[in-house]
Structure 1
Amino acid sequence: MIRSLGKKKQSSTTSRKIFILLAICCVAVATPFSFTGIAVGLPAISNTLGGSPIQLNWAINSFLLTFGSTLMAAGTLADNYGRKRVLLIGSIIYGMFSVCLAFFTINLVWFDLLRAFQGIGAAAAFAGGFASLSQEFEGQQRLRAFSIVGTSFGIGLAFGPIVAGWLIATFGWQAIFVLTATLAVIAFFLAMVFMTESRDPEASGLDWKGAISFTLALSLFTFGIIQGPESGWNHPFVVTLLIAAVVLFVAFVMIERSSERPMLDLSLFRFPRFLGAQLLAVAPSFAFVVLLVLLPIRFVGIEEMDEIAVGKIMMALSAPFLILPIASGYMTRWFTPGIICSIGFAISAIGLYWLGHFTDGSEIDTLIGSLLTIGVGISLPWGLMDGLAVSVVPKERAGMATGIFSTSRVAGEGLVIAVVTAIFSALTSGNIEKVAGKNASLVAQRLVTGDIKEALVLVPSVEKADLHQVYSKGFSTLMFLLCGITVLTALFVFIFLRKEVDTVEE
């Protein structure tokens, strides 16, 4: 009888944990889908709402900016006031603004503002959910849970363009936000019913000075990077934005060093493994994530393919995420996570170099082979990253660790997308400057955002085929640059993370 009751209790606990994991996986899928899905929809959104190139850039970056800049604050709030509470509040905000984006969007500026508020809700739900994992799971279960949730994030990231392409072609771009609202509702009810509340007993409140200075610094820096190609890098407004961002970043570091309970424990950066974990967070941005934005824009806007066809091509980049992130967890029986991660980035670098040879009119088989190589490479470290991120801090600071890692990952994605887009625009502008003259910058921005029709209006004397060639040349140069960065990343990840885990003690 006692044994039977014990089995029932164990079964009940297991079921509860499965539903908790499902709730957090919903958040983990919805969050990256919120910006990779939009990349496919930019041409359709632009046709409906109009807007300038910089406003189209903000359609992606406004979400990434608020999400990335508020994650650390959200992680601290979760530790202080309850992980479940922050997850529930975040799900409500995220779902509410998803509905607004689907049904109550007036113009592109309004769309961008709604996206910013959606990002704040996503940050709260994401930080609260990830911090809860360390409290709900122990030992090997905890590592598997982080691996599953990390894989879910990767699936949302990688398959966002595919799902979004089908939704747009079938129902219109508004369906993207109906789906994210649905995932938010599922996460809310599962967490409300099955999750138990937890918090850090030693927490002493939110570091408001640190949160405000960091958020403003990241916002101004991203704004400056996005505004630079349009206004010019020597424009007083752009220069002021970038200088102000640097000053605020310095102020943030000084605030955190003097705080008794900082939002960001700077002492953690003395440990090589912690530095390696942050590099892991940022590396996929330039080795993979930028392609989820640039390729759909190229295929739909420049190559003028339909969204469903684009989704089929993007499958080559995304398919490895169905198997390899989980498989890499089993590979740790024979290799350290650092070695697996560095090998993965080296494979991705090969794929980027291969993709750099994809020009207008190239065989589609060549493109698919390069995308598959990149997908295989980036999938190997993906399932290991989240577990590594929290393995170097005490359990009670899981919210902080999650916040730092997620901030590095998402803020890195936002900044890298902004920086890469600016570099791409500069490369394209340089290639067309001889024939476009003073309009070169405007033409380049239209091409980079996939608006080839408006680019032709700006330079009526230039043939469409010539614009394709200009775009392809800039794209190839960009891929070779990203390849070099990824090779260096593979080397540094190997140096920092090749040894076994050494937990940081307080």
Structure 2
Amino acid sequence: MTTSPTLSRTLALLSVCLAALAMPLSFTAPAIAMASIRHALGGSPVALAWATNAFMLGFGASLMAAGTLADRWGRKRLFLLGSALFSLTSLGLTVAPDLLAFNLLRALQGLGAAVAFAAGLAGLAQRFAEAERLQAFSWIGTTFGIGLAFGPMLSGFLIDAAGWRVIFWAPVALTALAFLLAARSWEESSDPAARLDVPGLLGFTASLAMLTTALLCLPDWGWASGRFRLAMLAFLLLSALYVWQALRTARPMLDLRLFRYPRFVGVQTLAAAPAYAFVVLLVLLPVRLVGIEGISPLDAGLDMMWMSLPMLVLPLASARLSRRVPAAMLSAGGLLLCALGLCLLGNTVHIDGNGTAQLAMMLIGIGISFPWGVMDGLAVSVVPVERAGMAAGIFSTTRVAGEGVALAVVGAALAGLIHARLPDGAGSAAAQLAMGNLAAAASGLPGLSRAALTIAYAQSFQLLVYGLAGMTTLTAFTIYLFLRTRAAAASCAGEPI
């Protein structure tokens, strides 16, 4: 049976959207399930933090290489391979016997997500003409955002109904369906001239892993410890080697020369912006609601709906609005609205059932929808279409690696702020409290009541959120400066650099 070109393109877009929906579900689910995972598998605060960061590291460190491999070996072939790996590792997570196996599977799951996502974006860039490409990529951005936003609610429902392991069945089903649709509707395409930068891949992955490890272990090691300083020194050396190697390579994994162009810098800054304005809250808020405020995973997921609902329609509306309003204005205005919501959120003592907190979360959800709706379409416009895989890899790497680093930074900052409000030598208790384990923190500090520990957490959380608001405000102005040029406006139409 012959499939019409229009139907074939629609099914191809649907397959990538299904994969884009499954991936963020896998990112947000462990935040809601953290208490259940800790009870079932045990583990220190650092080991439990890797339950989220292992996925982000596998995802972020592999995206650029996955984009190049998709260009070189075939976008359809790599999309099918990535979808299969993602689905199989998600299935493995449902039977993981201990936290070490769980975290290793999470890293492999992130690798599968990277391959499928980069190949999917590269493949669609070949299937859709310039006039349709922005709309197609807006659909992907919307579904990715819906997965991020609604993951907590779905996870809470599934945990209450059938236990924490069942949360990984939804990604299995979604990626299996994406695999079947892609196998039927995709046409193979490739760029034989693409080359994989193996030294660049190894250098980037090693430096990102070293930075993530240093930040995750910071609450235990301390700023002055030799281990932390050694890890940061290794990160700086590996980063310098990576930059030196990239500048000497004809076609590196990340062409650093692109940073000479203002709109390229603006697009990459835009990719990283949601990390501090929105994404870290998808982990911090469920951990606070379940671990500190003591509500059920289902109720925590329902509370998160206040940030989720705007993501249903506003990103697509933003994509349409970008035909009349400059992307710079949409993105900067949305981020300033996020900053306002963060300030309101910092003023609330309790989140569950608090009207001010609900308004703050809705403002954050509305604000982030505006840049979210345009940034995926802008991403593939920074290079010619034949190198769309590389462009998708760079943009997605900036976004996902930025989110992974942001989670590590914010987690370390929260633990540090809590520690400053506790007696000397309470670093372990502060780390437990930052991960939402109020009982373990209280047992480690018998001289302090749970009420006192809760107040210490709330005060630290408030300062942290104010810091996120300030960073989001600064990012908004930076993005506006880089994207407001005439060249940046032209990028929406797909003109290469």
Matches within 5 A, 1:427-438: 427-433=417-423, 437-438=424-425
Q: 1:477, 1:470 → 2: CA distance?
A: 11
Q: Helix, strand or coil for the counterpart of 1:456? A: helix
1:240 to 211, 230, 241: 230
Q: 2:33, 2:59 → 1: CA distance?
A: 20
- Alignment partner, residue 182 of structure 1: 173
- Alignment partner, residue 257 of structure 2: 267
Q: Helix, strand or coil for the counterpart of 1:431? A: coil
Give the aligned residue type for 2:436.
G
1:474 to 457, 460, 483: 460
CA contact (8 A) 2:289 2:351 kept: no
Instruction: Say which is worse superposed, 467-476 or 228-237, in terms of deviation.
Output: 228-237
The answer on 1:221 being equivalent to 2:227 is: no
- Alignment partner, residue 107 of structure 1: 98
Q: Helix, strand or coil for the counterpart of 1:432? A: coil
The answer on 1:418 being equivalent to 2:408 is: yes
Matches within 5 A, 1:7-46: 12-46=4-38
User: How far did 1:406 drift?
Assistant: 0.2
User: How far did 1:333 drift?
Assistant: 3.1
- Alignment partner, residue 81 of structure 1: 73
CA contact (8 A) 2:73 2:192 kept: no
CA contact (8 A) 2:322 2:374 kept: no
Matches within 5 A, 1:41-60: 41-60=33-52
2:276 to 278, 286, 310: 286
CA contact (8 A) 1:391 1:501 kept: no
Q: Helix, strand or coil for the counterpart of 1:501? A: helix
Q: 1:329, 1:276 → 2: CA distance?
A: 17
Deviations 1:366-414 (A, max 9, x none): 1101100111100111010011111121001100000000000000000
CA contact (8 A) 1:421 1:448 kept: yes
- Label 1:51 to 1:219 Cα distance change in 2 as closer, same or farther (>3 A): same
Give the aligned residue type for 1:69.
A
2:287 to 297, 300, 305: 297
Give the aligned residue type for 1:190.
L
CA contact (8 A) 1:360 1:468 kept: no
TM-score of the superposed pair, with normalisation by structure 1: 0.95
Matches within 5 A, 1:315-334: 315-334=305-324
User: How far did 1:271 drift?
Assistant: 0.5
Give the aligned residue type for 1:308.
L
Q: Helix, strand or coil for the counterpart of 2:94? A: helix
- Alignment partner, residue 155 of structure 1: 146
Give the aligned residue type for 1:432.
L
Q: 2:252, 2:191 → 1: CA distance?
A: 14
Give the aligned residue type for 1:483.
A
Identical aligned pairs, as a percentage? 45
Give the aligned residue type for 1:177.
F
- Alignment partner, residue 143 of structure 1: 134
Q: Helix, strand or coil for the counterpart of 2:490? A: coil
Q: Which stretches in structure 1 are left out of the alignment for 5+ residues?
A: 1-7
User: How far did 1:504 drift?
Assistant: 6.6
Deviations 1:168-226 (A, max 9, x none): 111111111111111121111111111011111422x2110111111111111111111
Give the aligned residue type for 1:99.
L
User: How far did 1:362 drift?
Assistant: 8.2
2:163 to 169, 172, 186: 172
The answer on 1:97 being equivalent to 2:83 is: no
- Alignment partner, residue 501 of structure 1: 490
Instruction: Say which is worse superposed, 245-254 or 231-240, in terms of deviation.
Output: 231-240
User: How far did 1:240 drift?
Assistant: 1.6
Q: 1:148, 1:187 → 2: CA distance?
A: 15
Q: 2:447, 2:113 → 1: CA distance?
A: 46
CA contact (8 A) 1:90 1:121 kept: yes
Q: Structure 1 stretches (4+) deviating beyond 6 angstroms?
A: none
The answer on 1:485 being equivalent to 2:475 is: no
The answer on 1:402 being equivalent to 2:413 is: no
- Alignment partner, residue 245 of structure 2: 255
- Alignment partner, residue 464 of structure 1: 450
User: How far did 1:237 drift?
Assistant: 2.0
Q: 2:322, 2:305 → 1: CA distance?
A: 27
- Alignment partner, residue 387 of structure 1: 377
User: How far did 1:41 drift?
Assistant: 0.5
* Aligned alpha-carbon RMSD (Å): 1.4
Instruction: Say which is worse superposed, 327-336 or 111-120, in terms of deviation.
Output: 327-336
Q: 1:337, 1:91 → 2: CA distance?
A: 32
The answer on 1:277 being equivalent to 2:267 is: yes
- Label 1:155 to 1:505 Cα distance change in 2 as closer, same or farther (>3 A): closer
Matches within 5 A, 1:358-397: 358-360=348-350, 364-397=354-387
Give the aligned residue type for 1:501.
A
User: How far did 1:115 drift?
Assistant: 0.7
2:113 to 109, 117, 122: 122
Deviations 1:277-332 (A, max 9, x none): 00111110000001000000000011110111111111101100011101111212
Q: Helix, strand or coil for the counterpart of 2:4? A: helix
- Label 1:424 to 1:494 Cα distance change in 2 as closer, same or farther (>3 A): same
Q: 1:225, 1:431 → 2: CA distance?
A: 20
Q: How many residues are matched?
A: 492
- Label 1:361 to 1:128 Cα distance change in 2 as closer, same or farther (>3 A): closer
The answer on 1:352 being equivalent to 2:342 is: yes
- Alignment partner, residue 202 of structure 1: 193
- Alignment partner, residue 184 of structure 2: 193
